Each structure stands twice: as C-alpha cells, then as structure tokens.
C-alpha cells in the first residue's frame, strides 16, 4: 500500500544504521518489516548484503546474563539458545491472541488446540529456561483459554485489543495478556488438562493484580534439579511422559477426518462453485453442485445463518480498518508529518460502508415484513381493498393470503350481500391461549421413543389437555409425525386416512443376478393393491389385509454391498418392512429393511415447517421465562394448515353458529364456493376470516350450486369450531320473538305449547306439527288392533285342532309375536314420512291389513293340510 511506503523507507534507514555498527540481527529484522509494509528492490539488495556479511556480533549486542555466583553454578549457566530468546520476544510482542497462537481468526477449536500443544511444549518453564518464558507460557495459556470458550471468543472478536492493559516501565514494556478477559484456570492447570501430570513442575506462575508471581510447590531447587536429572537419564520414563501427547495428537488428527464439510462458503472454491444469493439481504454465497439433493434442512434458516456470518465478518473487517486508520493518524501526529496525516485521514473503510448499507437493508426488510403481517381486517379497512360486485374484476392480489384464504378472489361468488360480525379472528392472529388450543405440530420424530411417548411428552411440555397424532410410527422410524393439540384432535381421523410417503434403506441377502434393472423391475411389480401381513412385532393384529402402493422409485443401489434406497407413496397402514421382504422374494434372493423415514404424512411433508423436540422445549422455555411468543408461534401451526388441500365453501358470519350446532349447509348461507366440488367429497366450511368451521360431505356439485336457489349443499361430518364463538342468529324473526314474549309472560308453557292462558289469536294462527304427526299415526294403531284380532282367531282354531298340531301352533304364536315387534319398529321409523303425506299413508295402512289377512289365511290352510 502507498500509505506504508514512508514507514518502509524509515525501516530501511534504521537497517542501514544497524549494518554500519555490524548488528546483523536487528538490520535483518528491520528489512523484513520493510518488506512486509512496502516491498522494494532496495530492501532486497540489503538483505542479500547482510547474508554475505560474516557473523561478528558485538559484545553489547549479546544477551545480558547474570553474573555467575560461586555458590549456585548450576542455575547461572546459560541453558537456552538465541532461537528460544527470539521466540519469547515474538510471543511477548504479539498484539492479539490469534497472533500468539499463530492461527487465523477463522480457525476452529481443533486448530487452536493443535497450535497450543505445539507452543506449550516449546515454552513450558521446565523445557525453556529463557528469561520471559514463563510470561510467554502464561500468554499462550490465556489465549487458548479465551479462544476455546465460545462466549469469551465472541466478546474478544467484537472488542479486540481495545481492552488490552499494557503495563509499561522505564526500561521495558510487557503485557499482562488479559486484554479484558480472565481464564477460569491458570496456565499450569490448562497444561495439565492437555498433557496430564507427567511433567514434574515445581514452579507455577500465578497472576494477581496484573503481576506475575512465582510460587514454589515442592522442596528446594536443588532437589528438583536432581530429580530432573534422574528423569532425563531414564529413557523409558521420557517415553511414557510423551505417550499421552502422541495419543492426543493421533486422536485430534483422527477426529478431524470425521468432521463434515460445511454446507456453504462465502468464497468460491473448487468444491463450492454454484453461486447463490440470500433472499433478504442478497448476500452472495457458494454451494456445491449437489446442494439441492444433499441438503435436507431449511434453506431459509441456512440463509439467516449465512447473513449473520457475513455481517460478523464485515463487523470485524470494519473494526480492523478503523483501527488501522486511527493508528496511522496517531503515527502521523507523532512524526509531525502533515502529508502523512492527510493520507491517513483519506484511508477508506469499505467494510464499514457495506455494513452501513446492510443495516439500512435490514431496516427496510423489517418494515416490509411489518406491512405484510397485516391482518385481514386491517387490509379490508385500508383504502386499497374493498369488496366489489361480481360484475367487476377485483384488483386485489390474494395469492399471499394465509392458509384457507389463499386465492380468495378465484372462488365462485354466489352473493356479496352479508353483514360482517366483529367476532372470531384470523388463525394467525389468535391470542396465544386460543392459538395453542387450536394448533398442530409437524414433528420430526426422533428414533427409539414410540409415537405414544412423544405425544405424551409434548402434552406435558405444552401443558395442554389433549394431544393426538395422525399415524403411528415404529420406535426406530423417524420423520413426519403430525401432532394435534386440543381442538385440533378433531382432525386426527381425517389425517390418519391420508396417504403417506417413505424413504427406506433395504439390504438383499445375496447378490442379485439382474443387478439394478432387476431391482427396479421388482419395485414396479409391488405397485397397486397388495396383500400384506403385519410383522411379528407390530401394534395391530396379524391379519392378512390389502394395502395400495401408489408409486415407488429406486433412488440408489450399491451392488457391492447389496444395499439400496427407494421412495414409496402408499396408503395409510402399509408396512414398508413387509414390502422390503416381498421385494427380496420377487428378486429371488431375500431381503430386509434396515432403516425407514417418513417424508410426508397427508398434506404435511418434511419441508413444511418441520420442528424437533428441542424446538418445542426451547419455544416453551422462551415463552415461560421471557413471554416471547414468536418462537412458539413458529413451532406450532394453526389447524387450518392441515386443511389447505380441501375444497372450500365460505359461509356468512350469521350462519356460522348454526353450523356449529349441527345445522346442514344450505344455499342461502353460502357466500363463495370453489371449483371442482364432487358428490360425497370431503370439503371444509370456512368463515370470511379464514377459520375452519367444520368438515362436511358434499351433496351438490359445483355446477349444481351455481344453478340452484335453495337446497342442502352438504351435511356435517365433523364440527371443528367451538360453539358460540359467533352469536346465534336464528329465532330472531317476528313470529319467534312473539313466541318468546308469550313464554316469558306465562301465556305459553316453557316448551312453547299452548296452555289455559293462551290467547285465541295465537291458537288460530298456531300450527302444532307434533299433533299432526300424532294424528297421522292413528291408522297404525288400528292396524295393530287388526293383527291382534287375527292372532286371537288363530289361537281359537288351534284349540280345535288335535294335539298333534300343538307344536305347530306354538311356533305360530312365536312368529306372530316377532311380527308384532317388527311392525312396531316400522311404525316408529315412519312418522316423518307420515307427516309429509298424512292422507295417503292413512289409506295405504287401511288397505295393508286386508292384504295381510288374506296371506295369513292361506298360510293357515297350508299348515292345516300339512298337519
């Protein structure tokens, strides 16, 4: 950089001064520094000149040593080399922890630990007797203690060396190596944690109040020196001391082999060649070519982590750029160079500018999300939206409306005349208690626990009354398990009967002769209706049953191991384990299932907001401790998400509560209806706010609904909404209101029937339909009397017969008694038809006894002839 050119020339001048006084080491050091700042040919020539110089160090440049003491000659003799001294100086001159360990800021924990093991053996006070080795060893220990702790490392990366506390004196300067951080263990304890207590060390360096003290942890120095000499003499003891280190190195290298590569990279490499951009901030990242097939997680969650990493890297780069600019300004002020000061002030910080732009983009994205998260009521109240007549085309885009209101404008309009009621709420805007009460979870079931255990755990975690699942999975099987909560359990049966999709791993017992084509042919044979018997260990009775396999596909097959993976779409209740056994029989070598995962259950797949048990625990903990509902609303989805595949009928608000009480779906209460409704098809009844009212069975097709003015459109199959969520709107007419007032005044009884106080006006206009039904049943009573008379005649005739016919008569009596019971049951089931046409039924019932009399007389004659 041009900014460093002046500093590089200054270093070259200092190197020339050191060359003049024959100080080869310092001159070489200044020249290397000049090369790093700004490479020049002048510095390279001087380096070549230094290499040709004869090594003639001056006595003043030799490292200062203590004067030898006649009493302790063993400790005053020099026991270190110049390389060790330079290494100690290098460690003490480092500015941050990454430079001390010699790693990059993107280094992993394993790389940091490898660097620490190498430096700790080199600078341990027992191995390195150089002055300052203890301080360097302490710095290395503190560096690895901070960088291996995620929280401390994050804080250190955010604030860096701004919190360095440098203790300076008049002759030298040294670092405390705390930099605002304290490790939980000292350097010696950390060393023992990595290498064990095999190294006999009597000197422990403890830091208190930014000073370094030396504590004697054993007997005298002479005793430890004698012990050290004995250890050096023993080769086997040294081998056993180094054995834990070798094992640790081997284990760390082996563990690095099993670390999987990340799913993305912010820079293009040979592995990561496909460029992509995040949806929110447009951050560019690179993935592998097989990213879509290999990566099974949520892409949105991955892009959020990518944006966080990118912002973190920008923040660090911005801090370094600002720090470098401030340093250059400080140097310019110290040197008093105005040109250097101007150039330092003109240094740009592109990372900071990018970070500022991204923060602005984040703010705009949040504003857009807030605008998108408007409720349906707010959208309807806004000026951009209003319901227009069917003759005009609505300009509103409903493709992004939630759940059952999606593409609301594409529904067929029957009428637009209705009065909206301020009751109910959009499924996504319910309060948290109601949201939980009508929610479902698309759970990624873990292996080993059964489906019943998982559902019981969720019930205990969420503190709800009821939970249920939409299809049992074996304990070892993982994948999609729909868990319904409280009111959503009313949808369990409809989801249990839905289709399923699985991915299975199978193994053939021996090599298949036809290879992969033979396996594909076997899977094709196992399609359609199949006879299956449950396995020996199953939750149902082992009976032969018919199950349908809709489709299957071989995903992969390894001929060397006779193992393969296939995908199958089948009917609920199918046994994939049995299918794998059948596949082995079809191929001719036998087979078995090794692993199974459900990838779809009904409408929900593993790509539709699937969560784990850990997500449920974290969401409930966040709500209990911080009252934050966002995570809980993300984990639990409204029950309407299970019904988005059904055909829809939109009802008026005034008829919602009647449907909740079991009323049939009539045409006058319908606002809109969907295309493609067929007879006896299961449909969902929806409010104008997108709430599911009930599941129903269609009794009219779409074309019939469009061409009729009245009639029953559908009958209720399962009511979902709670009663009285919307107000009652039946019984509000003038006739019903007058009847209520008469009951309140006592002019009618509590059932609305007339009494002695009822006015004549009401009696003349009042029609009692129950009395008409009773009148219609009068001929039926006459019919019973006739049958009784015929039975009596039979008894009289039976007494006149001989005793040989006694058995026949008893059988006749029992038969007539059974016929009476059957006739009474028929009479009970026919009152509704009799009310509809009382006159016709009366004539028919009078004629029927006459015909029956003739038939019975013929039977009696036949029986008498046989007797």
Residue appearing with tokens 């080399």: 81
Please list, in sequence order, all residues whose beta carbon lies within 8 angstroms of the beta carbon of residue 619, skipping any fewer than 6 positions away.
631, 632, 634, 635, 636
Predicted TM-score (pTM) above 0.85: no
Neighbours of 508 (CB within 10 A): 23
Residue 96 confidence (pLDDT): 82
pLDDT at 76: 47
* Residue 620 to residues 461, 749, 854, Cα–Cα distance (Å): 7, 54, 78
Please report, for residues 517, 566, 586, the alpha-carbon distance to residue 524 in angstroms, rounded to integers and kept in the order given: 11, 12, 10
Question: How confident is the model at residue 819, as a pLDDT?
Answer: 61
Q: What is the pLDDT of residue 313?
A: 87
Q: Catalytic site residues? A: 474
d(CA 580, CA 549): 13
pLDDT at 860: 54
CATH number of the domain at 78-257, out of 1.25.40.10, 1.10.287.110, 3.40.50.300, 3.40.1190.20? 1.10.287.110
Residues of the chain where predicted confidence (pLDDT) is lower than 50: 56-76, 161-182, 197-231, 233, 385, 780-786, 795-812, 827-847, 861-867
The correct CATH number of 432-638 out of 3.30.2350.10, 3.50.50.60, 1.10.3720.10, 3.30.70.20 is 3.30.2350.10
Determine the pLDDT at residue 839. Answer: 40
pLDDT at 391: 58
* Helices marked H in 642-777: 656-660, 702-707, 734-745, 760-765, 769-776
Residue that is written with structure tokens 């009399």 in the block: 853
> 10 Å Cβ neighbour count for 224?
18
Q: Which two tokens stand for residue 484?
A: 């319904």
DSSP 581: H
Residue-level length of the chain: 867
Domains 78-257 and 432-638 share a fold: no
- The pLDDT, as a whole number, for residue 774 is 63
> Per-residue DSSP letters for 83-149?
HHHHHHHHHHH--SHHHHHT--TT--HHHHHHHHHHHHHHH-TTT--STTHHHHHHHHHHHHHHHTS
- The pLDDT assigned to 365 comes to 72
Nearest to 705 by CA among 669, 652, 662: 669
Q: Please give the Cα distance from 249 to 352 (Å, whole number).
A: 41
Cα–Cα distances in angstroms (integers) from residue 20 to residues 4, 11, 546, in the given order? 25, 14, 99
What's the CA gap between 452 and 438, in Å, rounded?
A: 20
- Measured distance CA(548)–CA(779) in Å, rounded: 54
**Residue 793 CA neighbour count, 13 Å, CB half:** 10
Residue 69 is predicted with a pLDDT of 42
Q: To which H or E segment does residue 49 belong?
A: helix 41-52
Evaluate whether 585 touches 522 at the Cβ level (below 8 Å). Answer: no
**CB 644, CB 427: distance < 8 Å:** no
Q: Within 10 A of 83 (CB to CB), how many other CB atoms are there?
A: 9
Query: CA 223, CA 530: separation in Å to the nearest integer?
Result: 86
Which tokens sit at 439?
Answer: 């929610």
Separation between Cα atoms, residue 636 and residue 83, nearest integer Å: 64
> Which residues face 212 on adjacent strands?
207
- Residue 336 is predicted with a pLDDT of 82
Cα–Cα nearest to 577, from 632, 516, 506: 506
* Per-residue pLDDT at 376: 60
**Which residue(s) pair with 148 in the sheet?**
none
Domain ranges of the chain: 1-59, 78-257, 260-371, 432-638, 734-766, 774-866
Which pLDDT value is given to residue 59?
Answer: 43
């Amino acid at each position: 950089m041009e900014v460093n050119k002046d500093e590089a020339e200054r270093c070259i001048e200092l190197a020339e001064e050191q060359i003049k006084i024959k100080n080869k080491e310092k001159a070489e050091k200044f020249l290397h520094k000049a090369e790093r700042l700004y490479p020049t040919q002048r510095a390279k020539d001087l380096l070549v000149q230094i290499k040709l110089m004869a090594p003639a160090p001056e006595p003043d440049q030799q490292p200062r040593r203590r004067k030898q003491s006649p009493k302790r000659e063993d400790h005053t003799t020099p026991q270190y080399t110049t390389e060790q001294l330079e290494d100690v100086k290098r460690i003490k001159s480092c500015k941050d922890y990454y430079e001390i360990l010699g790693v990059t800021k993107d280094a992993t924990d394993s790389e940091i630990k490898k660097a620490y093991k190498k430096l700790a053996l080199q600078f341990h006070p027992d191995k390195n007797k150089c002055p300052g080795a203890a301080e360097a060893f302490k710095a290395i220990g503190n560096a690895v203690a901070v960088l291996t702790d995620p929280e401390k490392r994050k804080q250190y990366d955010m604030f860096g060396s701004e919190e360095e506390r440098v203790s300076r004196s008049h002759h030298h300067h040294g670092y405390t190596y705390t930099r605002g951080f304290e490790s939980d263990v000292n350097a010696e304890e950390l060393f023992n944690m990595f290498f064990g207590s095999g190294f006999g060390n009597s000197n422990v360096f403890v830091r208190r109040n930014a000073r370094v003290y030396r504590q004697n942890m054993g007997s005298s120095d002479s005793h430890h020196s004698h012990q050290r000499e004995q250890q050096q003499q023993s080769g086997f003891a040294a081998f056993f001391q180094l054995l834990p280190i070798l094992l640790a190195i081997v284990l760390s290298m082996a563990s690095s082999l099993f670390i999987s590569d990340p799913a993305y990279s912010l820079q293009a490499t040979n592995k990561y060649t496909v460029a992509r951009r995040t949806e929110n901030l447009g951050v560019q990242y690179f993935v592998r070519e097989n990213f879509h097939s290999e990566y099974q997680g949520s892409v949105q969650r991955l892009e959020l982590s990518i944006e966080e990493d990118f912002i973190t890297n920008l923040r660090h780069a911005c801090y370094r750029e600002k720090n470098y600019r401030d340093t250059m300004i400080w140097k310019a002020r110290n040197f008093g160079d105005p040109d250097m000061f101007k150039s330092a002030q003109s240094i740009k910080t592109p990372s900071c500018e990018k970070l500022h732009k991204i923060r602005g983009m984040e703010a705009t994205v949040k504003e857009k999300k807030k605008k998108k998260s408007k409720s349906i009521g707010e959208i309807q109240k806004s000026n951009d939206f209003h319901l227009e007549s069917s003759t005009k085309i609505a300009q509103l885009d409903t493709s992004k409306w939630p759940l059952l209101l999606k593409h609301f404008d594409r529904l067929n309009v029957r009428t637009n005349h209705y009065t909206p009621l301020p009751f109910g709420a959009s499924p996504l805007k319910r309060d948290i208690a109601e949201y939980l009460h009508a929610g479902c979870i698309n759970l990624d079931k873990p292996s080993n626990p059964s489906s019943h255990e998982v559902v019981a755990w969720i019930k205990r975690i969420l503190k709800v009354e009821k939970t249920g699942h939409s299809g049992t999975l074996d304990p070892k099987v993982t994948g999609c398990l729909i868990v319904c909560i409280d009111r959503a359990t009313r949808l369990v049966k409809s989801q249990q009967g839905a289709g399923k999709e699985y991915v299975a791993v199978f193994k053939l017992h021996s090599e298949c002769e036809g290879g992969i084509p033979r396996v594909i042919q076997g899977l094709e044979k196992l399609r359609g209706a199949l006879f299956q018997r449950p396995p020996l260990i199953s939750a149902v009775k082992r009976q032969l049953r018919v199950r349908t396999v809709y489709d299957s596909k071989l995903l992969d097959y390894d001929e060397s191991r006779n193992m393969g993976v296939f995908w199958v779409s089948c009917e609920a209740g199918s046994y994939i384990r049995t299918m794998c056994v059948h596949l082995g029989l079809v191929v001719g070598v036998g087979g078995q299932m090794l692993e199974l995962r459900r990838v779809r259950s009904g409408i929900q797949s593993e790509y539709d907001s699937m969560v784990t048990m850990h997500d449920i625990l974290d969401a409930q903990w966040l709500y209990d401790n911080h009252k934050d509902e966002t995570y809980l609303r993300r984990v639990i989805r409204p029950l309407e998400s299970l019904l988005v595949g059904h055909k829809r009928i939109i009802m008026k608000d005034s008829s919602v509560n009647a449907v909740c009480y079991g009323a049939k779906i009539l045409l006058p209460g319908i606002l809109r209806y969907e295309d493609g409704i067929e007879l006896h098809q299961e449909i969902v009844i929806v409010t104008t706010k997108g709430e599911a009212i009930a599941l129903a069975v269609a009794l009219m097709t779409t074309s019939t609904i469009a061409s009729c003015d009245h009639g029953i459109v559908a009958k209720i199959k399962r009511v979902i909404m709670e009663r009285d969520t919307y107000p009652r709107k039946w019984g509000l007419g003038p006739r019903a209101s007058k009847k209520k007032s008469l009951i309140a005044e006592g002019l009618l009884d509590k059932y609305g029937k007339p009494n002695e106080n009822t006015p004549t006006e009401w009696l003349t206009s009042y029609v009692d339909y129950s009395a008409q039904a009773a009148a219609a049943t009068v001929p039926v009573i006459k019919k019973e009397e006739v049958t009784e008379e015929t039975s009596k005649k039979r008894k009289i005739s039976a007494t006149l017969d001989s005793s040989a016919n006694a058995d026949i008569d008893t059988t006749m009596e029992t038969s007539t008694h059974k016929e009476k019971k059957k006739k009474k049951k028929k009479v009970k089931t026919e009152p509704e038809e009799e009310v509809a046409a009382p006159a016709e039924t009366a004539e028919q019932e009078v004629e029927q006894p006459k015909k029956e009399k003739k038939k019975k007389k013929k039977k009696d004659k036949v029986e008498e002839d046989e007797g």
